[in-house]
Structures are given as C-alpha cells and as structure tokens.
C-alpha cells in the first residue's frame, strides 16, 4: 500500500504548505508549562491566555516568526543571598508556540493578575471573482 501525502491529493492543488504546517505544529512539542486557554470572541477574534505567575513583563517576550507566535519566559536569577528551606516554586524558562493561519494578526498583549493575554484577530476574507478569457488556438 502506498502512503500518499496530504499535499499530493489531486484535489488539493497548491496545498503542499499545509502538510509542512502540520508537521511543524506536531514538532513544537510543548510540554504543558505554562498552562493556557484559547478563547474565541465573535467570528474573527481570539485570545490566548497563559498562566505566568511569578513572571514580570520584562521576563516575557512575544514574537511572530514565520507565521508562528512564540511566547518565551525567562526569569532573572535571584541573588545568592537567599537561602531556601524548601523550594516548591520552579523558576524555569519556557517557550510556547502557536501556528497562526494566514490573515491572523496579533493585536496586542496585556498582563493582569499573573495571566498573560494575547489578542488575535483574523482579517475579513476578501471575495475574489476572476473571469478567465478563453483564447482560440
């Protein structure tokens, strides 16, 4: 039996990028930290909320790299003057990635009560009608 790739199906002309996108999403391998929610507001607005307690705005960076939203967190190292009798709060770095569809743009980000909110919006789709002239040979 021959395995056919998603992008090689005869009805999916020009969708080779979709297969690469699925592979890239599967490889992102987020391990579950920090936890997050994705909410939809209306037809074209979304919000990603990450629980980033202990991180300040300066500890976080948000970038869009090749249609991929990347949120990184790195806490500054505390001075050596503190002595912990028990350390149950992990001070670790993280990276969360979300692949964005064409037309989805990041509108802004806010922090409140240990939650980072990243607001996204999908542009309204344009209806394109194109008439193709038939030429005689």
Beta strand 68-73 with 94-99: parallel, antiparallel or unpaired? antiparallel
Give me the tens of pLDDT residue by residue for the chain, a chain 137 residues long: 555 565 566 676 776 766 776 676 666 555 678 999 999 998 999 999 999 988 999 999 999 988 899 999 998 766 667 788 987 776 778 999 998 988 899 999 999 999 999 999 998 888 889 999 999 87
Which H/E stretch holds residue 69?
strand 68-73
Per-residue pLDDT at 60 = 95
Distance CA 94, CA 60 (A): 9
Beta strand 68-73 with 60-65: parallel, antiparallel or unpaired? antiparallel
Per-residue pLDDT at 49 = 97
Per-residue pLDDT at 95 = 93
Distance CA 115, CA 49 (A): 6
The listed CATH number (2.60.40.790, 2.60.450.10, 3.40.50.300, 3.40.1370.10) that belongs to domain 30-122: 2.60.40.790
């Amino acid at each position: 039996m021959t395995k056919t790739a998603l992008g090689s199906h005869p009805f999916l002309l020009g969708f080779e990028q979709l297969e690469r996108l699925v592979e890239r999403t599967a490889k992102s391998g987020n391990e579950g930290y920090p936890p997050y929610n994705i909410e939809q507001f209306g037809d074209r607005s979304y919000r990603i909320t990450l629980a980033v307690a202990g991180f300040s705005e300066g500890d976080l960076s948000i970038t869009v790299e090749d249609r991929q939203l990347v949120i990184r967190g790195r806490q500054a190292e505390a001075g050596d003057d503190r002595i912990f009798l028990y350390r149950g709060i992990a001070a670790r770095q993280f990276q969360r990635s979300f692949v964005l569809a064409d037309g989805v743009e990041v509108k802004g980000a806010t922090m409140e009560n240990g939650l980072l909110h990243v607001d996204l919006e999908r542009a309204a789709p344009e209806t394109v009608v194109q008439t193709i002239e038939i030429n005689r040979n």
